[in-house]
Chain A
């Protein structure tokens, strides 16, 4: 589904990603871990097409097509979704209005039926139940005045509505208490199926108890320095990241994604 080859990216002339290789097949769940500042969010944003990040080398193929050639909205309509680490507020625009527009753009793109406000309300109600979000959030402005946890839940609600093929969840666990974490993770798991893939970005192991990854990749200073199965996450929990930082042997742990 996704093939990242030797990806380099920089912001304001500073190279942040220094040659990332990663292959993701449908049905898989990948975790990207690593210390703060290692480039995890940068990788997520480059995949989503954030205009501040310049790709300086390498390529990314998505279903065989050059992902980097597509505008952010095209990528989204083609099924790439990113749950933001810091969701953005859009004053005066209701959650329902925003989501219906996004939903209909995608439907239009796929040549499928668009929904009027009433039909969409029903769909939204069903999806909101998945993340146990109250109906009152639908009429409120996008993320405005939402608590940290509510914003994260709202991200997963959007994922549920847009039904993406590839989801990149950037630190979706941060700011969630344990109950909310369980709900959000449960929502992500329910949405997962063999046709889809998920990349979970986190620097804690905690979330991975609920969303169990098939592969774990450790990012440090813009490179993947270690890869393994879900047990790698536990090892990191115990030992921290320091032992990996300098020239760690990348291919010691078991299965490498292919």
Chain B
């Protein structure tokens, strides 16, 4: 059996649907839809204004169709449901009030939420379709001043912080999908780490899309004040549907002087079937601002799911000596398409950025790395190192790299290395000659290829990512 066939036979384990009664609003998008969503969430006037401004911007914008190296049918934005929430009490005093069906759903996904079973050392915000259903360890975190809650709660309870930072990194008119998100976003997570606090546990959000006709538009905001540190993880899955669903998220990170934010994603949305039917359209805007001196933002992503991935987690290196990092593994198989990479915008002096991208393409998949390194005139002594490797499995897939480099300060240094390789028959034979099955051999080679990225993930996530790549190869031989 060929390697491509091995990859082809994998099972998606998260493809089931939770049977739960939902409250959904009518299909379609208009100013009324935006107002309705805002009203459902009891939002203050300024929040509604933010949404409406974004909506009006969006109306004037065009879907980015030309430059990304992806192809997909017309998306009908009027044929979509913009809000879907499981029926339950809006505010929950405790986890006991969460619908047991939802608790079971997350437990099945490996994210137990109940007090007795919660994951040790990781606080979780669980988002189901358009709403956050529970957040663990909230009180414990509050004691050290860390605010970790759903975005909706943040708007209610901490409006001054949200107002200060929302849209400060990704403006409402930044791009088509960011504008759409800004108009209709429903929920997501909010993390605030006050000055001098090192967040005592990992914070994480688990996103689950359940409704076949609703998009998910989540909004995440993470602020680390002076000398604060936080490591944040994000995971996501969705059931198998024949229809495509849209996931258009916006994530904004802000790091003040000497602060550090480490943001890790393991993305395993449903990818569609072998013929490319169904799957999530993952159009995401993620950006961090190193606003303060010596601040650091590090993105690590393992992208294995989605029919289409369009995503460029970026860093604006404004503060002097600030550091931006991007470590990425993107695996595409069958008809999956990914156009992903990063932007490193160097504004401050002595700013440094590192980009390590590993693209793996199998089946008929298309995998593109697209990255911009921009050194602005005042960025004295800025440094960038980019390493961009692709691995092809089989002969029907393709990998591309589109590096854009703009240097406006001649004291800076930019290095770029790229490679393309294949899993060779000799490598496979060598491993198999030692008694390792073909499936495990492929998995071992791919994990080896991705090692530099996996090393950046927090321990539990690294295990999960390794397992996930293994899972993609499961049930193959025999």
Chain A positions near chain B (C-beta within 8 angstroms): 48-52, 71-73, 75-77, 81-82, 84, 87-93, 97-99, 101-102, 105-106, 109, 141, 158, 162
> A73–B447 contact, CB under 8 A?
no
> B430–A90 contact, CB under 8 A?
yes
List, in ascending order, chain A residues with CB within 8 A of B431's CB.
90, 98, 102
Q: Which residue of A lies closest to B446 (CB)?
A: A92
List, in ascending order, chain B residues with CB within 8 A of A52's CB.
425
CA distance A109 to B429 in the complex (A): 19
Please tell me which stretch of B196-204, B308-316, B335-343, B435-443 contacts chain A, meaning at least 4 of its Cβ atoms lie within 8 angstroms of it.
B435-443
The reply to whether the CB of B462 lies closer than 8 angstroms to some CB of chain A is no
CA distance A93 to B452 in the complex (A): 11
List, in ascending order, chain B residues with CB within 8 A of A98's CB.
431, 434, 436, 444
CB distance from B4 to the nearest CB of A (A): 15
Q: Which residue of B lies closest to A161 (CB)?
A: B434
Interface residues of B in 403-443 (CB under 8 A from A): 424-427, 429-438, 440-441
> A88–B452 contact, CB under 8 A?
no
If the complex has contacts A51-B425, A88-B427, are A93 and B435 also in contact, measured as CB distance less than 8 A? no
CB distance from B59 to the nearest CB of A (A): 48
Q: Which residue of B lies closest to A104 (CB)?
A: B435
> A84–B444 contact, CB under 8 A?
no
> B430–A92 contact, CB under 8 A?
no
CA distance A88 to B432 in the complex (A): 12
The reply to whether the CB of B449 lies closer than 8 angstroms to some CB of chain A is yes
What does the 1/0 interface line of B437-478 toward A look like (CB < 8 Å)?
110110011011111100000000000000000000000000
> A102–B448 contact, CB under 8 A?
no
> B435–A102 contact, CB under 8 A?
yes
> B448–A91 contact, CB under 8 A?
yes
> A76–B430 contact, CB under 8 A?
no
> A141–B448 contact, CB under 8 A?
yes
> B452–A162 contact, CB under 8 A?
no
CA distance A50 to B427 in the complex (A): 11
> B432–A76 contact, CB under 8 A?
yes
Looking at chain B's contact residues, is the secondary structure mostly helix, strand, loop, or mixed? helix
List, in ascending order, chain A residues with CB within 8 A of B440's CB.
101, 105
If the complex has contacts A72-B432, A73-B436, are A92 and B450 also in contact, measured as CB distance less than 8 A? yes
> A90–B427 contact, CB under 8 A?
yes
CB distance from B5 to the nearest CB of A (A): 14
> B436–A101 contact, CB under 8 A?
yes
Q: 6 pairs across A/B with beta carbons < 8 Å?
A: A48-B429, A76-B436, A92-B447, A102-B431, A105-B435, A162-B434
CA distance A71 to B438 in the complex (A): 10
Q: Which residue of A lies closest to B427 (CB)?
A: A88
If the complex has contacts A52-B425, A73-B435, A76-B435, are A93 and B430 also in contact, measured as CB distance less than 8 A? no
Q: Which residue of B lies closest to A108 (CB)?
A: B435
List, in ascending order, chain B residues with CB within 8 A of A88's CB.
424, 426-427, 429-430
CA distance A106 to B436 in the complex (A): 9
CB distance from A24 to the nearest CB of B (A): 18
CB distance from B222 to the nearest CB of A (A): 30
List, in ascending order, chain B residues with CB within 8 A of A51's CB.
425, 429
List, in ascending order, chain A residues with CB within 8 A of B451's CB.
91-93
List, in ascending order, chain B residues with CB within 8 A of A106's CB.
435
Q: Which residue of A lies closest to B424 (CB)?
A: A88
CA distance A168 to B424 in the complex (A): 22
CB distance from A86 to the nearest CB of B (A): 8
> B430–A73 contact, CB under 8 A?
no
Q: Which residue of B lies closest to A48 (CB)?
A: B433
CB distance from A156 to the nearest CB of B (A): 13
CA distance A82 to B433 in the complex (A): 7
CA distance A97 to B454 in the complex (A): 15
If the complex has contacts A51-B425, A90-B445, are A102 and B434 also in contact, measured as CB distance less than 8 A? yes
List, in ascending order, chain A residues with CB within 8 A of B429's CB.
48, 50-51, 72, 88
> B444–A90 contact, CB under 8 A?
yes
**Which of B435, B448, B450, B452: most chain A Cβ within 10 A?**
B435
List, in ascending order, chain A residues with CB within 8 A of B450's CB.
92
CA distance A241 to B432 in the complex (A): 34
CA distance A94 to B449 in the complex (A): 12
CA distance A105 to B427 in the complex (A): 18
Among A87, A91, A97, A109, contact of B430 (Cβ-Cβ < 8 Å): A87
CA distance A91 to B391 in the complex (A): 12
CB distance from A158 to the nearest CB of B (A): 6
CB distance from B356 to the nearest CB of A (A): 12
Q: Which residue of A lies closest to B389 (CB)?
A: A91
CB distance from A21 to the nearest CB of B (A): 24
> A92–B448 contact, CB under 8 A?
yes
Among B424, B427, B434, B437, contact of A158 (Cβ-Cβ < 8 Å): B434
Known: A71-B432, A73-B435, A81-B433. 13 other contacts (CB 8 A): A51-B425, A72-B429, A73-B433, A73-B441, A92-B448, A92-B451, A93-B445, A97-B444, A98-B434, A99-B434, A141-B448, A158-B434, A162-B434
List, in ascending order, chain B residues with CB within 8 A of A105's CB.
435-437, 440
CA distance A99 to B435 in the complex (A): 10
What does the 1/0 interface line of B34-76 toward A look like (CB < 8 Å)?
0000000000000000000000000000000000000000000
CA distance A162 to B447 in the complex (A): 23
> A92–B435 contact, CB under 8 A?
no
List of 9 A-B pairs having minimum Cβ-Cβ separation, nearest first: A92-B448, A92-B451, A93-B448, A76-B435, A102-B434, A88-B430, A72-B432, A73-B432, A105-B435
List, in ascending order, chain A residues with CB within 8 A of B452's CB.
92
If the complex has contacts A90-B427, A93-B444, are A77 and B435 also in contact, measured as CB distance less than 8 A? yes
Among B426, B427, B436, contact of A102 (Cβ-Cβ < 8 Å): B436
Among B432, B437, B441, B449, contact of A92 (Cβ-Cβ < 8 Å): B449
CA distance A31 to B384 in the complex (A): 55
> A73–B427 contact, CB under 8 A?
no
If the complex has contacts A88-B426, A101-B440, are A93 and B447 also in contact, measured as CB distance less than 8 A? yes
If the complex has contacts A51-B429, A87-B430, are A73 and B438 also in contact, measured as CB distance less than 8 A? yes
> A109–B435 contact, CB under 8 A?
yes
